[in-house]
Amino acid sequence: MGVIEVENLTKDYGFGRGVFDVSFSVEKGEVFGFLGPNGAGKSTTIRHIMAFSRPDKGITKLFGMETFKNYHKILNRVGYIPGEIALPQGLTGIEFLRMMQDLQKIHNEERLRMLLKYFELDKVTLRGETKKMSLGVKRKLAIVSAFMNDPEVLILDEPTSGLDIVMQEKFIDFIKKEKKRGKTILLSSHIFSEVDATCDRIAIIKDGKIVSEVVANDLKHATKKLYKVVFKEQKDCKEFIKEVKNSKFIKLIEQNCENKFVLILTDDKDINKTVNILSKYEIKDFTNIKETLEDYFMKFYKEEQDFGGIK
């Protein structure tokens, strides 16, 4: 049983908007990445986990308890960063943090001081009114608020949006440290580097549906590798294609003999056999093409990429 569980979650807002039959779980001590562009359904799913909305179908659970019915038992054990920051007006930064401490009924001053120093929120900044703060400062306040009571679970929706690059890197380092401390983290993002650097497993969501779930290390250390082979002559390219067309250990991914190249997929254990076949031909270039998380993701969003890319 996972610490965070989503079972067949459906929320239909009409016109294809919402989430549809979404299921996943996050184990204790795991960082789970929820990857997709804006509008794919990440925030809708998270709002249901946080009990801000009732599902049409399905269920969301934290610590084995249905969230919508038990939110009062759950929420002070969870740190949450919303995708859109809307801080209450009429408060200074430090007053906002004190208000959140009172609501959570936890006043961990040592941890608060550590977080304020780490995320570079000085006393002058904290005395400013929240409505006059920049998006970056508001985001840092939301981060400190989520982490300051040292919760068991962290649910982070686009947590670095509005932060500069240096602070984004500091946040990623901080998440790695929290992971080592055994925290359970759901990280929703559209930033590949952020997900790639921190997550153990990754779910890709498209049009409100999970289209893939992958173990991050399987991508980084896959035994099946993609190679680009460039031949000196077109005839060698054509002959090679004929020879490996029905091969059990070489898969043709793309063939373009007009430009004298093919893309092939083969397992590490079969690389010697593959090289033996290639040695019969005059080869101009033989290159391993490493598949990144972005490459993997774009397989599911190729149509959008062809029509101008994800915004």
Predicted local distance difference test score (pLDDT) of residue 46: 97
Q: Record the pTM.
A: 0.79
Contact between residue 293 and residue 281 where contact means Cβ atoms under 8 Å apart: no
Highest mean pLDDT range out of 17-26, 70-79, 294-303? 17-26
Taking only the tens place, the pLDDT of each residue in 13-45 is 998 899 999 999 999 999 999 999 988 999 999
7 pLDDT higher than 50:
yes
DSSP letter assigned to residue 82: -
Cα 98 versus chain centre, distance? 31
Q: Which domains does the chain have, with CATH numbers?
A: 4-216 (3.40.50.300), 224-290 (3.30.70.250)
Cα torsion at 260, 264, 269, 275 (round to 10°)?
-10
Predicted local distance difference test score (pLDDT) of residue 176: 96
Predicted local distance difference test score (pLDDT) of residue 115: 98
Taking only the tens place, the pLDDT of each residue in 103-149 is 888 899 999 999 999 999 999 999 999 999 999 999 999 999 999 99
| H or E element, residue 251 | strand 251-256
**Cβ neighbours for 190, distance < 8 A, ≥ 6 positions apart:** 35, 36, 37, 38, 158, 310
Query: Cα–Cα distance between 307 and 127 in angstroms, integer?
Result: 47
